[in-house]
């Protein structure tokens, strides 16, 4: 028997109902916030992720599904959605056109991580990205939209928030931090590597020894320029005003290199060790890094699999018809009615003429509201026999009326 690969799974049966319910409602909410759907290729040039997610990240350093294709191109299965959306934005010359653009997307992402509960090698994200909006109000809107999504599904979350500074205050802070790190002995190997490539990533090292060594490290929050400070406090004021609770986490730097200013993560304590259910932030330099005209960017992505178990599904209502034949002669008429009714209804059917009992059982399983059948008598009288599976009420109707 051939099984799915390690860390990959099928979305089937109950999970697929949850999946479509989740995606449909997230899409609806995103559209209400002015986002439109975008789909980008799963396979992109490896250079795209190296230049955006960054060489110092675990994603690029260790986890990429990267290979040389038959044409000799170095390609990679996307580990996340932002880089592809930014590339598409530039490819469509939207950077040159100016103005604000908002996109949402969903689909599979690939990271060669060690699989465990909530951590897959192929997982799905629902994400959104805004371009061309420098106002901190957009950061607030993005967070409010996520909060609305979590509220809709009845998911309890905790929001962690930080500001990483901008191109004015980040470099001097980085210098200060490196000076501190140079004097610090005993950092883990990952931190030593990050000190060279992207020193602020050292701040969120999970290693306890490193965390102890970093206790007296210069803090990001104390080194923000005036404009970053005032934006961050405006963001907090808006969140307070709209009752979104948050915790400022000065060590939250996120695992991808492209962020500046706002960085945030929503976590849940109901799903085990992999508690991050969504993450995002601002990336005002990324369009430029990828050779576009400098354009602000901000967005987020949620991990769909981590959320599916948490969502409260509504009681599914029965809908549509199950139409069937009780004798061979009725099967042509059944097919005709099925095709007509499908123009505006959900219709299940079964092509074999079986006993009434067998058909009723199948109809019940398929979740329809009304059972409709044609046997010898009905065919003779030009009628269908209908049973409402909710009220159990029975009746007959002429073909034309049905
Ligand atoms: P990220 O934090 O790497 O951010 O991923 C976003 C979410 O994807 C995580 O919070 C988590 O729920 C889910 N996720 C990540 N890795 C896995 C995995 N191996 N298995 C299951 N779920 C996973 C990004 O990807 C950024 N592109 C977010 C963003 C958009 N920032 C700005 N715009």
Question: Residue 308 Cα, ligand 1 centroid: separation in angstroms?
Answer: 15
The 10s digit of each residue's pLDDT in 247-284 is 999 999 998 989 999 999 999 998 887 899 999 999 99
Question: Residue 82 Cα, ligand 1 centroid: separation in angstroms?
Answer: 10
Q: Measured from the CA of 266, which atom of ligand 1 is nearest?
A: 10
Residue 95, burial from CB neighbour count under 10 angstroms (0-12, 13-18, 19+)? buried
Q: Measured from the CA of 79, which atom of ligand 1 is nearest?
A: 25
Is 58's pLDDT higher than 80? yes
Percent of the chain scoring above 90 in pLDDT: 88
* Distance, CA of 120 to CA of 295 (rounded, Å): 33
Question: Residue 169 Cα, ligand 1 centroid: separation in angstroms?
Answer: 27
* Distance, CA of 293 to CA of 307 (rounded, Å): 36
pLDDT tier for residue 309 given thresholds of 50, 70 and 90: confident
Mutation probe of ligand 1 site: the residue of 79, 270, 279 with most atoms within 8 A of C-beta:
279
Mutation probe of ligand 1 site: the residue of 306, 308, 309, 310 with most atoms within 8 A of C-beta:
306
Ligand 1 lined by 119 (C-beta under 6 Å): yes
Is 287's pLDDT higher than 90? yes
Ligand 1 lined by 127 (C-beta under 6 Å): yes
Question: Residue 118 Cα, ligand 1 centroid: separation in angstroms?
Answer: 12
Describe the strand order of the beta sheet including 36-37 as a list of residue ranges: 36-37, 101-110, 122-131, 297-303, 276-282, 260-267, 158-163, 247-248
Question: Residue 304 Cα, ligand 1 centroid: separation in angstroms?
Answer: 9
Find out if CATH 3.30.930.10 is the number for domain 14-169+224-308: yes
Ligand 1 lined by 259 (C-beta under 6 Å): no
- Here the tokens at position 274 are 């992999």
User: Mean pLDDT, to the nearest integer, of 379-402?
Assistant: 97
Q: What is the pLDDT of residue 141?
A: 98
pTM of the model: 0.92
How do the domains of the chain map onto residue ranges? 14-169+224-308, 321-398
Is 316's pLDDT higher than 80? no
Q: What is the mean pLDDT of the chain?
A: 95
| CA-CA-CA-CA torsion sign (87, 88, 93, 97) | negative
* Alpha helix segments (H runs only) across 154-302: 170-183, 189-197, 208-213, 226-241, 286-289
- Here the tokens at position 137 are 């109000």
Q: What is the pLDDT of residue 67?
A: 98
The 10s digit of each residue's pLDDT in 288-304 is 999 999 999 999 999 99
Is 190's pLDDT higher than 90? no
Q: What is the pLDDT of residue 298?
A: 98
Architecture of the domain defined by 321-398:
3-Layer(aba) Sandwich (3.40)
């Amino acid at each position: 028997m051939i099984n799915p690969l390690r860390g990959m799974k099928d979305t089937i049966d109950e999970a697929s109902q949850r999946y479509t319910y989740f995606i449909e409602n997230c899409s609806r909410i995103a559209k209400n916030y002015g986002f439109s759907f975008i789909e980008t290729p799963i396979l992109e040039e490896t250079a795209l992720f190296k230049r955006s997610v960054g060489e110092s990240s675990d994603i690029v350093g260790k986890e990429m599904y990267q290979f040389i294709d038959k044409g000799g191109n170095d390609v990679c299965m996307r580990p996340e959605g932002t880089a592809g959306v930014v590339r598409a934005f530039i490819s469509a010359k939207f950077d040159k056109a100016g103005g604000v653009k908002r996109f949402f997307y969903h689909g599979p992402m690939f990271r060669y991580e060690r699989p465990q509960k909530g951590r897959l090698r192929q997982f799905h994200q629902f994400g959104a990205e805004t371009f061309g909006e420098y106002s901190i109000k957009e950061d607030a809107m993005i967070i409010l939209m996520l909060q609305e999504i979590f509220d809709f599904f009845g998911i309890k979350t905790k929001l962690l928030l930080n500001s990483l500074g901008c191109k004015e205050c980040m470099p001097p802070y980085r210098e200060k931090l490196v000076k501190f790190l140079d004097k610090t002995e005993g950092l883990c190997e990952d931190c030593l590597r990050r000190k060279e490539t992207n020193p602020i990533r050292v701040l969120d090292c999970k290693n306890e020894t490193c965390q102890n060594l970093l206790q007296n490290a210069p803090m990001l929050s104390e080194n923000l320029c005036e404009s970053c400070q005032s934006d961050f406090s405006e963001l907090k004021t808006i969140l307070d005003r709209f009752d979104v609770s948050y915790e400022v986490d000065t060590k939250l730097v996120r695992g991808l290199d492209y962020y500046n200013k706002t960085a945030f993560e929503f976590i849940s304590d109901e799903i085990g060790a992999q508690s991050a259910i969504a993450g995002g932030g601002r990336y005002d330099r990324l369009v430029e890094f990828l050779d576009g005209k400098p354009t602000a960017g901000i967005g987020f992505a949620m991990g769909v699999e981590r959320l599916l178990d948490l969502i409260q599904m509504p009681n599914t209502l029965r809908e549509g018809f199950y139409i069937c034949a009780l004798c061979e002669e009725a099967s042509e008429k059944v097919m005709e009615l099925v095709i007509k009714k499908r123009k505006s209804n959900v219709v299940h059917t079964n092509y074999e003429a079986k006993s009434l009992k067998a058909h009723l059982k199948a109809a019940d399983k398929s979740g329809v509201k009304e059972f409709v059948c044609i046997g010898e008598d009905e065919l003779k009288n030009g009628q269908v026999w209908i049973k409402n599976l909710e009220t159990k009420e029975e009746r007959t109707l002429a073909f034309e009326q049905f």
